[in-house]
Structure formats: structure tokens, C-alpha cells
Structure 1
Amino acid sequence: MASKETTLRRSARIRRQIKKVANGRPRLSVHRTSKNIYVQVIDDANGRTLAAASTLEKDLKGSLKTGADTAAATAVGKLIAERASKAGVKDVVFDRGAYIYHGRVKALAEAAREGGLNF
């Protein structure tokens, strides 16, 4: 199991690589816990959150069996794509944080792509 220091170093390394290739695009940042998944579209130049979604929202929470499976991640991915397009964001750079691109993180990314986000 990775220590907290290792996890923080990995997420900092990923974020550093993302900022090199971002070219002014907002960052689609993912955070997952054992019970929920959260995602934000962040404009790093201005330090503002442009759109956000999570499994804790009332309209999603009632329709999902649990907030900790790939079905929930897919629903959140579709929701963030819809909210980002309302905010005028089409192109983003994907920030998986310290999480590997597998399971819930992958399901969220694929649903966001299907919803219209380009990354």
C-alpha cells in the first residue's frame, strides 16, 4: 500500500506533466473515495472552478445503487460533460491525480468523452 507521501508525490508529478501540455486548457480533475467520486473542471490560469459534479448530488444519489461503482462514475462523467459544455468548455486536459487509469476513473473519462469533452 502506498504511503501518503508517495501518493502526494505521484499526484504532484502528474499535475506537473499536465501543466506542460495543457496550452491554456482547463483541467478535468478527478477525486475518488471508497464511497463516492468527484470531478471538477478547473481553470488554473484564473484559479476558478468552471464546473463540478459528484455522486453526492441529490438527483444522482437517488438514481444510483451506490456512489462507488463504475455505473456511478459513468453518470458523473456524463453530468460533468453536460455542465462543462454549458460553461463553454470543450477541450480539457485529464488529471487523474494519483489514481491509475482503470475502473471508476476510466469509466468517468470515457463517459465524459462520449458527452462531448475532448481530451
Structure 2
Amino acid sequence: MTAGCLVSVNGTSRNTTMNGTCRFLLFHQSLGLTLAKAANDRVTGTYTGAKTGPAQLSGTVRGDKLVLNVNWGAPVNGDRIAQMVITRTGENSFEQTVIDKVDGKTRTTSRFSFKRK
């Protein structure tokens, strides 16, 4: 059984927004992302898909990946920091992965794949 997400992505060369929801059986989660290009290829923004409230994002573009530091609104897995990597996987697709320390080990804690239909 697979989860389904329905999102809309809008953007310009400087700003991008993503809003939508993901569903799996009884699980229902809204998610959103706003990103703005800053100086020196830096990117800042906010992620609104966490149950702890909005998380602040900051990072850089590295090839076809956007590598972001995440500062959660409240502790997650014992602290407030993680990493989010958004990878372009095709002309009309991308993947969003969150990597965090869990019990002292670095682990992927979520991964969503998105493809334009």
C-alpha cells in the first residue's frame, strides 16, 4: 500500500512555495514549504509539515540538490536540528528526504517522492 500526496508548487527564480497534503490509511498530514533565494547561493525558508509547528530552513544548492539545515519548532528525536535534502529526480519530479539523529545514529526519518501528473 502506498501513500498519496497532492501538492501544488509555484515559484520564480527567487521564491518557491509548495502546499498540499499526504494521506495513508488514517494518516493525514498537511505540508508546506516556502523558500527564498538569498545572497551567495544561500536559501532560507519555512517548512510547515511537522507536528511540532513551523521549522526554519537554511542551506545551499549543491548541483541538483538543495541541502537545508532544519530548526524544528520543538524538540524532535531529542533535539531541534535535522537536515532536509530536496533532490531533483527528473524533469517533473523531486524527492524530499529528512535526515536526523535517532538514538545517536544518523537515519532517514522521512522520504517523500513527488512527480507531476
Give the TM-score taking structure 2 as reference length.
0.31
Higher strand share: 2
Greater relative CO (CA pairs within 8 A, separation 6+): 1
